[in-house]
């Protein structure tokens, strides 16, 4: 029997064509004549993306058609459908942008209006592994958009120093999974700079951006959602957008905010999420949760990618259970808008919080504790948390791991029948 050979080829971007062909040649020469066709397909779901560390910037999946009837299952389709918001009319002309283009637009606006602004991190000069900084170095100069050595503690430490000296410092961490070397600089330094100096010094002009969340195949180190670690750190702000418009408005809010901010960008939405986004700068306020859909029976709280899962859950609940859900996008994890969430739970009596990060110590725990303190007598059922399991983020088991719409739907049923 012929075997189906699928393998990953990783090569530097510039000569990927050559290398793919070379790899193909080697494969053919070794494998004999069974496999008659070669075709390169880009990764499902999110387009090609770039591995950190071991695999170089480009991943290419080469799959082979064979005559064998036994074929591999298709890679799992995305667990959500992106729902664009209505086109905003109050911020001037808009343009079709995906999420990474919305980020570029925000950065472009910033570099244009603020001469002190600088953007730095690994690989940002050529445009970044997720293309968020494409074109900015050419437009604004190499002293303003530049690569740093591969060192997250250095990137954040450098960013703090630049902000202390009065520059608007925008630091990119290549994946949120790699933010931990910078944890000391963020928690012990950035967050405490103003407090410990009696407001003589601060690094409010620092913004840290990092790709965040599951992407279908990211596994342990390209899928993490570390917001809970930073939620425990007074002095920083933590912000997560659900869409391109929100990404631009919230990122500009973070940059303008006189406190160090961490902005997590849902990487699965970088290409998948497309909206009409205002071209001019605009700001979405921080620490103000947004009620996306009003409802009377259950409050749903989520952020980032999970909002789109919850939209579908709300629809399913309405269609199959006749239940009206109020959907809230928290947006700012720290400091979080307790008032909007509590007001909603007082109305509905039921709360479901959902996030990809592991359930124990995840941010849903904080929301749960606060809501039960403030709305205890209004609750009709225990607060439900539908989150990742307490495991590292798995590779092949991702479809079983993630808090998908079926798990959320089931949790609503349980709350209604309590």
Partner 1 sequence: MAALRRVSQQLSVCSHAVRQLTGMNGCRTRLQLRSFGLCGANQQSFDPTDKPQFPGASAEFVDRLEFIQPNVISGIPIYRVMDRQGQIINPSEDPQLSKETVLNFYQKMTLLNTMDRILYESQRQGRISFYMTNYGEEGTHIGSAAALEPNDLVFGQYREAGVLMYRGFPLDLFMAQCYANADDLGKGRQMPVHYGSKDLHFVTISSPLATQIPQAAGSAYALKRENLNRAVICYFGEGAASEGDAHAGFNFSATLECPLIFFCRNNGYAISTPTNEQYRGDGIAARGPGYGMMSIRVDGNDVFAVYNATKEARRRAVAENQPFLIEAMTYRIGHHSTSDDSSAYRSVDEVNYWDKQDHPISRLRHYMTARDWWAEEDERSWRKESRKMVMEAFEKAERRHKPKPDLLFTDVYHEMTDNLTKQRDAMWRHVQQYKEHYPLDAFEK
Q: Which residues bind partner 1 (CB under 8 A)?
A: 15, 17-18, 21-22, 24-25, 28-29, 33, 36, 116, 118, 143, 146, 148-149, 151, 153-154, 156-167, 169, 181, 184-185, 188-189, 192-202, 204, 234-235, 237, 257-259, 287, 335, 338-339
User: Residue 187 has what DSSP assignment?
Assistant: I
Q: Is 346 exposed, middle or buried (0-12, 13-18, 19+ CB in 10 A)?
A: middle
Smallest separation (angstroms) from partner 1 to the CB of 227: 17
Nearer to partner 1, 185 or 225 (CB): 185
Report the distance separating Cα 418 and Cα 389, nearest Å. 23
CB neighbour list of residue 355: distance below 8 Å, 6 or more residues apart: 225, 227, 302, 303, 306, 362, 363, 364, 387, 388, 403
Measured from the CB of residue 166, what is the shortest distance to partner 1 in angstroms?
6
Q: Which is nearer to partner 1, 225 or 340 (CB)?
A: 340
SS3 191: helix
CB atoms within 10 A of CB 290: 17
d(CA 391, CA 356): 11
Q: Which is nearer to partner 1, 33 or 73 (CB)?
A: 33
Peptide bond into 335 cis (omega under 30): yes
Would residue 152 show up in a list of annotated catalytic residues for this protein?
Answer: yes
Q: Is the CB of 84 or the CB of 154 nearer to partner 1? A: 154
Please answer whether residues 159 and 169 qualify as being in contact, where contact means their C-beta atoms are separated by less than 8 angstroms.
yes
How many Å apart are CA 330 and CA 258, to the nearest integer?
21
User: Residue 287: what are its φ and ψ, rounded to 5°?
Assistant: 60, 25
Whether 222 sits among the annotated catalytic residues: the reply is yes
Cα–Cα distance, 404 to 134 (Å, whole number): 33
Q: Are strands 237-239 and 261-266 parallel, antiparallel or unpaired?
A: parallel
Q: How far is CA 353 from CA 80, 316, 356, in A?
A: 17, 17, 11
Closest approach of Cβ 25 to partner 1, in Å? 5
- With respect to partner 1, which residue has the nearer C-beta, 286 or 325? 286
| Distance between CA atoms of residues 375 and 371, nearest Å | 5
Instruction: Give the torsion sign (CA, 264, 267, 273, 278).
Output: positive
**E runs forming strands in 309-415:** 325-329, 332-334, 351-358, 384-388
Shortest CB 230 distance to partner 1, Å: 14
* Contact by Cβ (8 Å): 295, 326: yes
What is the closest distance, in whole angstroms, from the C-beta atom of residue 114 to partner 1 in the complex? 12
> Whole-number minimum distance, CB 278 to partner 1, in Å?
26
Residue placing its CB nearer to partner 1 in the complex, 147 or 219: 147
State how far the Cα of 381 lies from the Cα of 359, in Å rounded to an integer: 19
Catalytic residue among 50, 79, 152, 326: 152
Cβ proximity of 100 and 280 under 8 Å: no
259: helix, strand or coil: coil
Shortest gap between Cβ of 356 and partner 1 (angstroms)? 25
Q: Active-site residue numbers?
A: 152, 222
């Amino acid at each position: 029997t012929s075997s189906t050979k699928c393998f990953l080829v990783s090569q530097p971007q510039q000569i990927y064509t050559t290398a793919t062909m070379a790899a193909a040649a080697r494969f053919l020469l070794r494998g004999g004549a069974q496999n008659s066709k070669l075709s390169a397909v880009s990764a499902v779901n999110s387009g090609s993306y770039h591995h950190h560390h071991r695999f170089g910037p480009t991943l290419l999946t080469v799959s082979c058609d064979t005559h064998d009837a036994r074929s591999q299952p298709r890679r799992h389709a995305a667990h959500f459908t992106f729902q664009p918001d209505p086109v905003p009319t109050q911020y001037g002309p808009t343009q079709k942008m995906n999420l990474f283009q919305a980020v570029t637009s925000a950065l472009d606006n910033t570099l244009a209006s603020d001469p002190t602004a600088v953007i730095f991190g690994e690989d940002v000069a050529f445009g970044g592994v997720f293309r968020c900084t494409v074109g900015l170095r050419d437009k604004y100069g190499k002293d303003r958009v530049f690569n740093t050595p591969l060192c997250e503690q250095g990137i954040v430490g450098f960013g703090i120093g630049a902000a202390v000296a009065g520059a608007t410092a925008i630091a990119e961490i290549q994946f949120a999974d790699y933010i931990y070397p910078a944890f000391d600089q963020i928690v012990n330094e950035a967050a405490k700079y103003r407090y410990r100096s009696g407001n003589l010094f601060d690094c409010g002009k620092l913004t840290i951006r990092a790709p965040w969340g599951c992407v279908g195949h990211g596994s342990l180190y390209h899928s993490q959602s570390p917001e809970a670690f930073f939620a425990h750190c007074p002095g920083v702000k933590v912000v997560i957008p659900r869409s391109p418009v929100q990404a631009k408005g919230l990122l500009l809010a973070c940059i303008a905010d006189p406190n160090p901010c961490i902005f997590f960008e849902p990487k699965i939405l970088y290409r998948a999420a497309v909206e009409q986004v205002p071209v001019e700068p605009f700001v979405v306020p921080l620490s103000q949760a947004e009620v996306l859909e009003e409802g009377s029976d259950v409050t749903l709280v989520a952020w980032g990618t999970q909002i789109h899962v919850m939209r579908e859950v709300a629809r399913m609940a309405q269609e199959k259970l006749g239940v009206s859900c109020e959907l809230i996008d928290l947006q700012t994890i720290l400091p979080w808008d307790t008032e909007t969430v509590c007001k909603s739970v007082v109305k509905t009596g039921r709360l479901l919080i959902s996030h990809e990060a592991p359930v124990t110590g995840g941010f849903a725990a904080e929301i749960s504790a606060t809501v039960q303190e403030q709305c205890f007598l209004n609750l009709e059922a225990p607060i439900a948390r539908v989150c990742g399991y307490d495991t590292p983020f798995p590779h092949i088991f991702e479809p079983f791991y993630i808090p998908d719409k079926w798990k959320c739907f089931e949790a609503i049923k349980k709350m209604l029948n309590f």
